[in-house]
Amino acid sequence: MKMLLLLVLFPTLAFAESDFAEVEPLLQKYCYECHGTKKSKGGINLEKSKSKAAIVADFHNWQEAAAQLHAGDMPPVKAAQPSPEEARRLELWIGSVFTEARARGLKDPGPAPLRRLNRFEYDNSIRDITGFDFHPAQNFPQEGGGGEGFDNTAAVLHTSPLMLEKLLEAANASSLHLSYLPGPGFTFTAQPHQPLNDSQLLFFLEGELTCLRDAVLPQKLEVEVDIPKYMRAAWQHQRAVEKDPKANSTELAQSLKLNPVFLRKWVQFLNSKPRQAVHDTISAALKPWDDLKPSSDQAEVEAAIAALGKAYANARSKIDNAPPDEKAIHHKMLHQIKGQLMSLNHEEMKQLFTPQQDAEFTSLEQQIRLMKSLSLKSDKTASAQFSAQLRPQLEALLLRCWRKPVQAAKIAEIEAFFLKQWHQSSSLQHAAQVTFLRLLSSPRFFYRLEEQHQGAEAKGLNDFDLAVRLSYFLWSSGPDEELLTLAAKAQLGQESILRQQVARMLKDPRSRALADSFAAQWLRFREISQTHQLSNQRFPEFTPELRALFYEENAGLFHQFIQQNLPVAELFDSRMSWLNAGLAKHYGRPPLQGDHFRLVLSEDPHGGGLLSTGAFAAITSYPLRTSPVLRGNLILSQILGTPTPPPPPDAGKLPEDDHQGDGLSIRQRLEKHRANPTCANCHNRIDPLGFPLEGLDPLGRPRALAAGAPVETSSELANGERLSSLVDLKKHLRSKQELITRNLAAKMLGYAMGRELEFYDQVTLDQLDEQLKKDDCRLQSLITGIVLSYPFRHRRAQEPDGVAK
Amino acid sequence: MNRRRLLQAATGLSISLPWLEAFAAPKAPVGPTRLAFLFMPNGVNPNTWSPSGDGKNFTLSPVLKPLEPLRQDVTIFSNLRHAGADNGDGHYAKTANFLSGLQVHQTTGKDLRCGVSADQIAARHIGKNSVLPSVELAIEPTRFGIDNNVGFTQIYGGHIAWNSPTTPMPKEIHPRLAFDRLFGRSLLSTQASVLDEVSGDARDLNAYLGREDRARLDEFLTSLRALELRISRQSSQTTEDFSKLPQPAADQPKSLEEHMRLMLDLIVLAFQMNRTRVATFMFGNSVSGLDFSFLKGVEGGFHEISHHGNKPEKLAMYSRINEFHVQLYADMLQKMKSIKEGDQTLLDQSLILLGCGMRDGNGHVPINLPILVAGHAGGVRGGQHLNCPENTPFNRLHLSLLQKVGVPITSFGDSGTQPLEI
């Protein structure tokens, strides 16, 4: 009776259970012996999944099982074989479990656990906050990988005491690039610097002001040129005023190509009576001028001009030549004249400044005034004025560092922290640096926090969280002003705007992060820069410099493919290379000039694409020789996404070196190896993909001979298709574009989400398949598709016991 | 028996008083006990490792010959194993659990799990009183990514020290950075001044996060507490001047040998100066392909050579590489032996294990592990080949080591309660 009730309530569940019982005997007979609870070869235990739900949860292994059945690779030849009907029934049944689950329209964005910034993201985030690329995170320990194979996977981004120390060191190093000025606020400098205390800062600001003034004021009066010109003009102006009291000295100055401001000063200096105090010697020298009458002739005027010029020149030469105790008086004389002629007020200065200089001048004056009043601690108005400036400056800095607005209380707390630091140190700049340090040392900076919610349903991400997901996906860095502004307006979530933003961000040079972080791990060429080993003796040319070129060749090319929005197959079947002079020479390609990299089209159909690069060749080689197995395996597991199970522990390895004496070529040895049915299963799939690349030596250079014998690049795929060279391999991969795209989509979705994919993600991948087929599997469509996908834009509800207060 | 009587008995002389007083003046206290684990990747040539003869009467194998001058200080173990290392793959499942013996959970990262390692247990007890509870050194960065063929994350292959079943301890691979961490000041006062604030941030967030995220944030808070503790220990200790110590160069070492030697020297120096009492060192990540062709007769990467297929020439190279590791170990022990500590030596106060999580790399054999222990801390005798019964849990040795250095535990993993008699 109870059973019946259950059946009524949960018909599908009950059906599923009975359904499993139908195939269990087959599993027992053919699978569990090796892949069961007692023995789990390759770590695969099918026996633990005794329901459809359990199978769906362990979908990686079960999908693989179906694929193996389909290919006839499992059970292995030496084991009991199912009849073709049995194999087919089992395969179809496994398939139906997944079809059924997908048909239920699973919608689950999956977990989105807290992610710490990894080394690369930390460096980029700081670069984009400060505007300078100084790699504060270079000493972080290398993060291992997880999820779909990437070091941005939440689950592997641990924080240990060592890691925390490194985080704080990096925050400190970054904070030394911050400068603060009352007024302009936070600015950054290329070089780290110790902060100035407030009196030093005031001195510095005044110095800046003087420099700015000096930049537009003449440093000295030229006796031969300036004095006669301005005095003649002043005389002319005087005459004009007599005729018309409204006469304008500015027009006169312009017509004589003199500076109107200075002419006004000269007029004032020469014609005002009584004159401001000057030294007697100067008064005496001005006597001829003062004695001039309207009727005086030009000769008298020139004599008056010469008198002042002579006195001025005399004073100037005395500064150099007079006995020390007389020097001061001559200095004073010159300063009196210059002081009267050149001490300009702001209005007068304005006419000499460019608008930018003027703004700077105004700001400096304000800063100095503020610094001076702030130094009188009792000046309440100044403090209030300062606080009013500081608050929005802090808010802006907070937004850049923490990537989302925070509550007013938190801002007040940060402000109080700033002020406390300031009062303790009497250094605004110190307070600013410590405040920046405090923001960067916070988990809110180095963890990516998303808004959480409770309930049963997943929810759309808020715009700020979406901006963060987007910018770390495409740039491995924090969101820029534009993204933050769109988020603040709550517009980023709109599909059309998201599309625009993705297009903009991919055009931006920062999208290079997709090559340096995503592709370098997916295709493993990151190994080239650091860990991969080739024998130094055999390949002395494998220097750090060549490694760096190899790396750039791959990363730059991948970035080009993205920016040009090429179809996925082009990554491998292309004639495009990314080369500079050094690499062209290394490969024996037509010479290029210069160290900069550029796109080069290969005449030879073997060249071009990511398979024929030095990095690909090197990371798939042993220290002394190439390896068709490693090359085939990289294509099979990373590019096609169909890895083979691991070799049995005691599988033989080929010799280290292809320069060996037993007369067998690598091919002959591998053929011997494949004669063993245990090995053949996988090697029939692996080796044929590797042989066509044998024409490239461990450093990617074309070769016709290996170990003295002609290289053999032809092979036969398990389905009988023949590949005679790298060109055929490229064509073959093009024919597999949809398979490659599906794999790339899975990797990229895992990368974007920072987690391993689960069964429900297959729904997203199916949808991406559909979209991309219509668009020749173009890279930007793939990236946009991921951004627009359900998991990328949603967040699961918080688990029930994580009750928020 | 007091020291004077002992001395008289030993020398048969009566000694004039002033000298005696000088002698009896407080001496450097007997140093604390230290513990280090040195890990070799890729196994050993099984034919050339073990000594012949048991107990005290043993003859060192050619590969262990560098230990001849130290034979009274070393114990060689045969027939130890980790039952937990049987399953899984050939390497990762025999590396991450080297110091815990538990099974390594197969994962690409989302649910890392293996045991808390012996060094970390020791760090919690004897590490309490040194500036750093433990240090983790290595020469290779952890490889990125996952090993697709076996479905394990490379994290497992790069870490033998595990602070919790889910948290590996990252390693320092740069000699100068390791030196600075050991002998420099941990933080500037400005940095220390923000710690209160950021732990406040973390507490705010804690209330807001879900269960799994809270566990992640807990790692942060735990690290923060460790750091605060370190700062307080540092300031409570007399400020020693380390500026006279020879510092490693800021560049990466030029050769593999130099790199390995520098890291081992740092462990000795850190032990001598009591900056830490617990250390781990990895000569390489599992599956390490390091190039040892600087050794005469060796050509090719370590991992490839370890899959020797019983070819004599490859077995010879394999032995040569093993011997090189043993040589560096012996040189490290000699240094420790030359450092006086009270009337003993640093080596007398230490236990230094060298070993690997598999025996023959060719078949990734997880039994009869190659394990050596040197030093006499806690009264370890040394000078013997301890040929244990087959399949003796390696954890019984870990239990002994932990007890000898003063960790009050009664069992460790599958050790049972009987430590190995050493």
Q: Are A714 and A724 contacting, i.e. CB atoms less than 8 angstroms apart?
A: yes
C-alpha A253/C-alpha A262 separation (Å) is 9
Flag if B141 and A142 touch (Cβ within 8 Å): yes
pLDDT tens readout for residues B173-219: 998 889 888 887 656 667 778 888 898 888 888 777 877 788 888 88
A210-214 long-range contacts, CB within 8 A, separation 24+: A212/A357, A212/A360, A212/A361, A212/A364, A213/A349, A213/A361
DSSP state of A92: H
Flag if B208 and A452 touch (Cβ within 8 Å): yes
Flag if A162 and B141 touch (Cβ within 8 Å): no
pLDDT number for residue A595: 95
Residues 168-207 of A with CB under 8 A from B: 168-169, 171-172
Q: How far is A384 from chain B (nearest CA, A)?
A: 25
pLDDT tens readout for residues B310-354: 899 999 999 999 999 999 999 999 999 998 888 889 999 999 999
Closest CA to A212 of A339, A85, A109, A359: A359
Cβ-Cβ contacts under 8 Å, A519 against chain B? none
pLDDT tens readout for residues A781-791: 999 999 999 99
C-alpha B124/C-alpha B215 separation (Å) is 20
Q: Record the tokens describing residue B345, joined without a space.
A: 């030596």
Query: Which domains, ranges and CATH numbers included, belong to chain B?
Result: 29-184+252-415 (3.40.720), 185-241 (no CATH)
pLDDT number for residue A133: 96
Q: Read out DSSP for A577-589? A: EEE-HHHHHHHTP
Domain ranges of chain A: 2-103, 179-204+357-448, 218-343, 513-644+665-735
For A440, counting Cβ atoms within 10 Å of its Cβ (0-12 exposed, 13-18 middle, 19+ buried), the class is: buried
Residues written for chain B: 422
According to DSSP H, which parts of A541-698 are helical?
A: 544-563, 581-587, 614-619, 628-634, 666-675, 677-690
Residue A114 has its nearest CB partner, among B188, B195, B209, at: B209
Q: How far is A567 from chain B (nearest CA, A)?
A: 25
Cβ-Cβ contacts under 8 Å, A167 against chain B? none
Q: Are A782 and A776 contacting, i.e. CB atoms less than 8 angstroms apart?
A: no
By CA distance, what is A800's nearest residue in B? B210
Q: Are A765 and A746 contacting, i.e. CB atoms less than 8 angstroms apart?
A: yes
Statement: residue B14 has pLDDT above 90: no
Residues 358-387 of B with CB under 8 A from A: 362-364
Residue A802 has its nearest CB partner, among B154, B210, B363, at: B210
Residue A801 has its nearest CB partner, among B202, B211, B314, at: B211
By CA distance, what is B317's nearest residue in A? A656
Using a pLDDT cut of 90, give the percent of chain B over it: 50
Closest CA to B102 of B416, B412, B417: B412
Residue A798 has its nearest CB partner, among B110, B136, B210, at: B210
Flag if A434 and B174 touch (Cβ within 8 Å): no
CB pairs under 8 A between A and B: 254
Angle at A540 between CA A539 and CA A541, to 5 degrees: 90
Cβ-Cβ contacts under 8 Å, B301 against chain A? 533, 622-623, 656
By CA distance, what is B90's nearest residue in A? A649
Residues 192-231 of B with CB under 8 A from A: 193-195, 197-198, 201-202, 205, 207-214, 216-217, 219-220, 222-224, 226-227, 230
Flag if B109 and A42 touch (Cβ within 8 Å): no
> Hey, is the C-beta of A443 within 8 angstroms of any chain B C-beta?
yes
Q: How far is A800 from chain B (nearest CA, A)?
A: 8
Q: Are B122 and B130 contacting, i.e. CB atoms less than 8 angstroms apart?
A: no
Statement: residue B6 has pLDDT above 70: no
Q: How far is A88 from chain B (nearest CA, A)?
A: 26
| Single-letter code of the amino acid located at A56 | V
Q: Are B401 and B373 contacting, i.e. CB atoms less than 8 angstroms apart?
A: yes
Residues 444-463 of A with CB under 8 A from B: 444, 447, 449, 452
pLDDT number for residue A477: 98
Flag if B145 and A151 touch (Cβ within 8 Å): yes
b vs e for A567-584, b when ≥16 Cβ sit within 10 Å of the residue's Cβ?
bbbbbbbbbbbbbbebbb
Q: Are B62 and B48 contacting, i.e. CB atoms less than 8 angstroms apart?
A: yes
Q: What phi and psi, each to the nearest 5 degrees, are found at residue A710?
A: -60, 140
Secondary structure E strands in B72-217: 74-81, 135-138, 146-147, 152-153, 162-164, 167-168
DSSP state of B108: S
C-alpha A322/C-alpha A312 separation (Å) is 14
pLDDT number for residue A674: 74
Residue A443 has its nearest CB partner, among B167, B198, B311, at: B198
By CA distance, what is B190's nearest residue in A? A434
C-alpha A149/C-alpha A605 separation (Å) is 32
Which helix H or strand E contains A626, and what residues bound it? none
Q: Are A475 and A144 contacting, i.e. CB atoms less than 8 angstroms apart?
A: no
Q: How far is A795 from chain B (nearest CA, A)?
A: 12
Q: Record the tokens describing residue B313, joined without a space.
A: 């020439």
By CA distance, what is A757's nearest residue in B? B110
> Hey, is the C-beta of A143 within 8 angstroms of any chain B C-beta?
yes
What distance, in Å, lies between the first and last C-alpha atoms of chain A?
Answer: 45
> Hey, is the C-beta of A43 within 8 angstroms of any chain B C-beta?
yes
Q: How far is A93 from chain B (nearest CA, A)?
A: 25
Q: Record the tokens describing residue A497, joined without a space.
A: 């705007």
Q: How far is B351 from chain A (nearest CA, A)?
A: 24
* pLDDT under 70: residue ranges of chain A: 1-18, 105, 219-221, 223-224, 377, 530-532, 646-664, 799-805
pLDDT tens readout for residues A774-783: 989 999 999 9
Interface with A, mutate which of B134, B146, B302, B311 (most A CBs under 10 A): B146
State CA A292 to chain mean position distance.
74
Q: How far is B136 from chain A (nearest CA, A)?
A: 9
pLDDT number for residue B172: 93
Q: Record the tokens describing residue A697, joined without a space.
A: 């030596």
Q: Record the tokens describing residue A509, joined without a space.
A: 């040079």
> Hey, is the C-beta of A145 within 8 angstroms of any chain B C-beta?
yes
Dihedral, CA of residue B217, residue B221, residue B226 and residue B227, to nearest 10: 100
Residues 612-631 of A with CB under 8 A from B: 622-624
Residue A159 has its nearest CB partner, among B151, B207, B223, at: B223
pLDDT number for residue A6: 35
Counting Cα atoms < 13 Å in the Cβ hemisphere of A654 gives: 26
C-alpha B14/C-alpha A342 separation (Å) is 97
C-alpha B143/C-alpha A234 separation (Å) is 81
pLDDT number for residue A144: 80
Q: How far is B416 from chain A (nearest CA, A)?
A: 24
Cβ-Cβ contacts under 8 Å, B291 against chain A? 533-536, 623
For A688, counting Cβ atoms within 10 Å of its Cβ (0-12 exposed, 13-18 middle, 19+ buried), the class is: buried
SS3 A216: helix
Residue A508: partners with Cβ closer than 8 Å, 6 or more residues away: A475
> Hey, is the C-beta of B89 within 8 angstroms of any chain A C-beta?
yes
Residues 750-769 of A with CB under 8 A from B: 755-756
pLDDT number for residue A55: 83
Cβ-Cβ contacts under 8 Å, A621 against chain B? none
Flag if B110 and A141 touch (Cβ within 8 Å): no
